[in-house]
């Protein structure tokens, strides 16, 4: 049996097992879809509507940190995430732990900027002063909450090197299980508030019915994101108490990527109404031009092309008259008996362009 930086033998079956493909699929698909929707949102706001709001810059920041989370998670995959812990070398475990700090920080920043973007949009469309004050209050709570969690994550172990150095002398660390449960509970709590806030904040809105229905669709998707967040909360405990963290933390990582990027997509859907309207108008215009072209073609009269030919008519004083037609396809000669004519005359006609008479 083979070994990896240890004298303990490794089971060949566990050596071949890997869940890295689950992480790779999530961290490539999620940010890619989020990028497409954010690009459509920016095009709609910056090009079609020609208006820029604070929530647009906030969603761009959320996309940037989401991509950063995917990059750091890719580094963890390179260094053994998705494999069994006994197959990961000490050096790989150290690099993996360092990359995980980046994953967690980007995850928290993504949720902070995402929720901030949604609440800024609520503040902008709110009409009554108390509704705006409620929005600002929620913004203050989520900003303070995420700032606190980000700071705690950075000083979770003192000194800082103790986070990737097990048994560091004199190190003091926060309980990982309690920390991750607290941060995820904050996510779920704020998701529920943002999900229910429009029922209070937007009830006096003068927005058109179509736009309010679009808000409803976005809220429905937001409910799905909240469900994913609750499922991830269920996977956190096994990943924090396991003896095989590189293997058992994979589901938590996958749900984290889905949760963050699905939230970005939901925040963008509600802003795409002008783009959908433009696409619908373009399709209708193309269909209208096609119908007009078809109707015009059917109403035109049918024209037959007559192929020009060359005719020779010869009248002679003999017992007959000869008429000949020269063309590229046929030549016809007709002999007509004409005994009553006593004089000779000749007529030549070519293509109707000119006539020459000879008597």
CATH code of 240's domain: 1.20.1070
Instruction: Output the CA angle 172-178-182, nearest 5 degrees.
Output: 125
Same domain, 198 and 341: no
Does 3 map to a domain? no
CA–CA dist 136, 194 (Å, integer): 12
Residue 357 scores a pLDDT above 50: no
Give 43-83 pLDDT, tens digit per residue: 999 999 898 899 999 999 999 999 999 999 999 999 999 99
* 157 lies in the same domain as 27: yes
Inside any domain, residue 213: yes
Q: Are residues 243 and 351 in the same domain?
A: no
Place of tokens 């020269």: 326
Which residues neighbour 296 within 8 Å (Cβ) at sequence distance 6 or greater? none
Average pLDDT, the chain: 79
Query: Is pLDDT larger for residue 285 or for residue 146?
Result: 146
Does 349 share its domain with 237?
A: no
Do 68 and 180 reside in the same domain of the chain? yes
Same domain, 272 and 318: no
First to last CA, the chain: 120
DSSP, res 343: S
Residue 6 lies in a domain: no
**How many residues in the chain?**
359
Q: Is residue 34 part of a domain?
A: yes
Q: End of a domain among 259, 278, 297? A: 278
If you average pLDDT over residues 76-105, what whole number do you get? 93
Residues 250, 145 within the same domain: yes
Domains in the chain: how many in total?
2
Alpha helices in the chain (DSSP H): 12-16, 20-43, 54-78, 90-125, 129-154, 176-201, 209-241, 245-248, 250-269, 273-299
Instruction: Assess whether 330 and 262 both reside in one domain.
Output: no
Percent of the chain surpassing pLDDT 70: 73
Residue 300 resides in a domain: no
pTM of the model: 0.75
Are 249 and 323 members of one domain?
A: no
**CA count, 13 A, side-chain hemisphere, 181:** 11
pLDDT for 306 beyond 60: no
- The reply to whether 345 falls in a domain is yes
Are 255 and 352 members of one domain? no
Give the pLDDT band of residue 267 (cuts 50, 70, 90): confident
- Looking at the fold, whether 244 and 327 belong to one and the same domain comes out as no
Q: Looking at residues 209-235, what average pLDDT do you find?
A: 71
- Per the domain annotation, does 291 fall within a domain? no
Q: 235 is in which domain, residue-wise? A: 12-278
Q: How far apart are CA 5 and CA 86, in angstroms?
A: 9
């Amino acid at each position: 049996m083979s070994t990896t930086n240890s004298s303990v033998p490794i089971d060949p079956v566990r050596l071949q097992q890997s869940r890295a493909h689950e992480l790779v699929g999530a961290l490539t698909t999620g940010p890619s879809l989020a990028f497409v929707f954010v690009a459509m949102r920016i095009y709609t706001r910056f090009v079609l509507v020609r208006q820029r709001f604070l929530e647009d810059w906030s969603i761009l920041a959320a996309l940037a940190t989401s991509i950063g989370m995917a990059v750091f998670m890719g580094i963890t995959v390179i260094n053994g995430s998705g494999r069994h812990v006994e197959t990961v070398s000490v050096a790989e475990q150290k690099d993996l732990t360092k990359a995980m700090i980046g994953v967690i920080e980007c995850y928290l920043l993504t949720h902070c900027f995402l929720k901030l973007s949604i609440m800024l949009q609520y503040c902008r469309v709110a009409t009554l002063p108390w509704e705006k004050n409620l929005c600002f209050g929620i913004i203050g709570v989520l900003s303070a909450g995420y700032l606190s969690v980000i700071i705690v994550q950075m000083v979770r172990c003192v000194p800082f090197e103790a986070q990737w150095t097990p048994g560091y002398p004199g190190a003091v660390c926060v309980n990982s299980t309690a920390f991750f449960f607290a941060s995820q509970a904050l996510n779920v709590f704020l998701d529920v508030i943002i999900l229910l806030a429009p029922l209070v904040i937007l009830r006096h809105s003068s927005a058109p019915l179509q736009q309010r229905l679009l808000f409803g669709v976005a809220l429905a998707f937001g409910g799905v994101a909240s469900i994913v967040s609750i499922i991830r909360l269920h996977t956190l405990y096994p990943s924090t108490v396991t003896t095989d963290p590189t293997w058992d933390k994979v589901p938590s990582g996958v749900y984290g990527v889905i949760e963050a990027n699905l939230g970005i997509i939901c925040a963008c859907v509600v802003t795409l109404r002008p783009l959908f309207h433009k696409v619908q108008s373009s399709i209708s215009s193309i269909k209208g031009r096609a119908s007009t072209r078809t109707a015009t073609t059917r109403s035109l009269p049918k024209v037959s092309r007559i192929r020009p030919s060359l005719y020779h008519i010869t009248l002679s004083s003999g017992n007959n008259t000869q008429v000949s037609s020269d063309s590229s396809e046929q030549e016809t000669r007709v002999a007509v008996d004409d005994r009553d004519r006593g004089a000779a005359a000749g007529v030549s006609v070519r293509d109707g362009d000119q006539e020459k008479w000879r008597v």
